[in-house]
Structure 1
Amino acid sequence: MSLLIYILLAFAVFFTMEGITWLTHKFVMHGFLWYLHEDHHQPRGRFFEKNDAFFLIFAIPSWLCIMLGLMYQVYWVVSIGAGIAMYGAAYFIVHDIIIHQRFKVFSRWNSTYVRAIRWAHKMHHKHLDKEDGESFGMLFVHKKYWEKVRKEKQLNPNIK
């Protein structure tokens, strides 16, 4: 297979991960593994949360695909691992740095996209328990949040 096919496969996995993340967030994190995710909705004031364990849970398949794919020279498996890793990096930047500002690197970003994801995530976090949640995805924001941000910008033209 050509390098282009491996790259396209990695990007296909990247975009597929949003759906997998949505399903996992709704049915696993707000389901039987709520005890790990709960402190993310009800912060205890610590830098690290039990919820951070999901970083490892999601990193293991990526690492295994990359490592075993390279060891056995099955490069389409490496592409799958790379796609998962790329999504994990994007998720970390969007969720932990841009939305929750755990690291003050991009704290001044205020584009329409950033405001839309922050609003969607705020609506997700308004639910302190595992039931009645909304907005379980991360990188792709539902149209209603974009519309809310656009309407806000029309009412207040000084928003950039």
Structure 2
Amino acid sequence: MFLLITLSVFLTMEGVSWSTHKYIMHGFGWFLHKDHHQPKYNGFEKNDAFFVIFALPSMLFLYFGGDAQNTYLLAIGSGILCYGIAYFLIHDVLIHQRFKWFKHTNNRYLKGVRKAHKIHHKNMGKEESQCFGMLFVPFKYFKKAKI
């Protein structure tokens, strides 16, 4: 049951991430997200505050789920944590190359995700952006990402 809850939360987090990106980061939270859409950014950005904001619920679920009676809270926190790790690896490492770990890939899925994110960043402004997802993006970007 633990793994089922963890996986369910992980998958649900893509919807949470999409909604947060579209309606908060490109809405009232734009003042934090704006620097992420600038052509060149190095080091830390204001946008990195969202990492801390999103980590807090996971930490709380993990903390309060630490005893044997609340394993479902631990599973929820684990699902959020796993999504956070995936987000870091895909968004910060693969797409934005903040770390040079996966500089060259021929994986069609990863290339499609990267292409969709580039389309998102093509628009530097708050409005009229597209492709707000991170792990699940429209299939057309996978077709364009031929190896």
Q: What TM-score, normalized by structure 2, do the two folds share?
A: 0.95
Q: Alignment partner for residue 48 of structure 2, among 47, 52, 57?
A: 52
Query: How do residues 1-160 of structure 1 correspond to structure 2 at under 5 angstroms?
Result: 5-43=1-39, 45-71=41-67, 73-149=69-145, 153=146, 160=147
Tell me how large the CA RMSD over aligned residues is.
Answer: 1.3
Percent of aligned pairs with the same residue?
53
Tell me which stretches of 4 or more aligned residues in structure 1 moved more than 3 Å.
none
The letter for the 2-side match of 1:114 is: L
Equivalent position SS for 1:131: coil
The letter for the 1-side match of 2:90 is: V
Deviates more, 1:70-79 or 1:17-26: 70-79
How many Å separate the matches in 2 of 1:50 and 1:110?
32
How many Å separate the matches in 2 of 1:7 and 1:117?
26
The letter for the 2-side match of 1:22 is: W
For residues 47-101 of structure 1, the C-alpha deviation after alignment (integer angstroms, 9 at most, x for no partner) is 1100001110000000000001114731101100000000000000000000001
Larger radius of gyration: 1
How many Å separate the matches in 2 of 1:90 and 1:125?
20
Q: Which runs of 5+ in 2 are unaligned?
A: none
Q: Which runs of 5+ in 1 are unaligned?
A: 154-159
How many Å separate the matches in 1 of 2:91 and 2:31?
20
Equivalent position SS for 2:105: coil
